[in-house]
Chains A and B, each alone.
Chain A
Amino acid sequence: GESVGLHLPTLSVQEGDNSIINCAYSNSASDYFIWYKQESGKGPQFIIDIRSNMDKRQGQRVTVLLNKTVKHLSLQIAATQPGDSAVYFCAEKDGHQGAQKLVFGQGTRLTINP
């Protein structure tokens, strides 16, 4: 399940530092924005979601920020650990007509330096 991206943006951080992964979205009609993590050899794994009428949501060690004015989404990971190394995808879900379709961004590869 590797997500090899020839042109994948990368982010390299020191272990213990905070990471911020950014994403621009396009569909103003999306009712939810979601972050997924994909480790090498595995399928994507849900991290956290945020409804379009919110601007911040916190989880365990993660915070998602939504700025609808500039159509920008970010994922903050506190105290980054080696296990956080993965490709991170933002996704939009259009809730109209019961749609369950997720539209994924290209992904960002996060590398943790010891």
Chain B
Amino acid sequence: KAGVTQTPRYLIKTRGQQVTLSCSPISGHRSVSWYQQTPGQGLQFLFEYFSETQRNKGNFPGRFSGRQFSNSRSEMNVSTLELGDSALYLCASSLLARANEQFFGPGTRLTVL
């Protein structure tokens, strides 16, 4: 079974631009979560989607948004990029009944210049 895939793996943007990251969950997994990982703040929850609905949201500004499609694939968008948005963005998928066992992708490394 293929794992969680994320594209692109690396991205360089400049301040003020926007970016869209993509995540394909493991087949059969309908819950998709996004996390931001930085050296200073560690792993922080962004949001979680299930059946195309955002069910949970972390403490991030409205510049961070996401969506989920009917095939469970998910995208997250960051608008008006700031230097502090430089981070590793991780996507994780899980079965609804096994929410503790989230399967993470390798992440997208975003650098904002």
Contacts and interface: CB of A to CB of B under 8 A. Distances in A.
Interface of A: 1-6, 32, 34, 41-46, 49, 89, 93, 98-107
A46 B102 contact: yes
B56 A5 contact: no
Given A1-B90, A6-B39, A100 B99 contact: yes
Contacts, number: 74
Given A43-B90, A43-B105, A102-B100, 5 more contacts: A46-B100, A46-B101, A46-B102, A104-B43, A107-B42
29 contacts: A1-B37, A1-B90, A1-B106, A2-B88, A3-B88, A4-B39, A5-B39, A34-B100, A42-B104, A42-B106, A43-B90, A43-B92, A43-B104, A43-B105, A46-B102, A49-B100, A99-B55, A100-B33, A100-B56, A100-B94, A100-B99, A101-B45, A101-B56, A101-B58, A102-B100, A104-B42, A104-B43, A104-B44, A107-B43
Dominant SS among interface residues on chain B? strand
B39 A44 contact: no
B25 interface: no
Interface residues of B, number: 29
Contacts of A104: 35, 42-45
Nearest to B9: A1
A100 B85 CA distance: 24
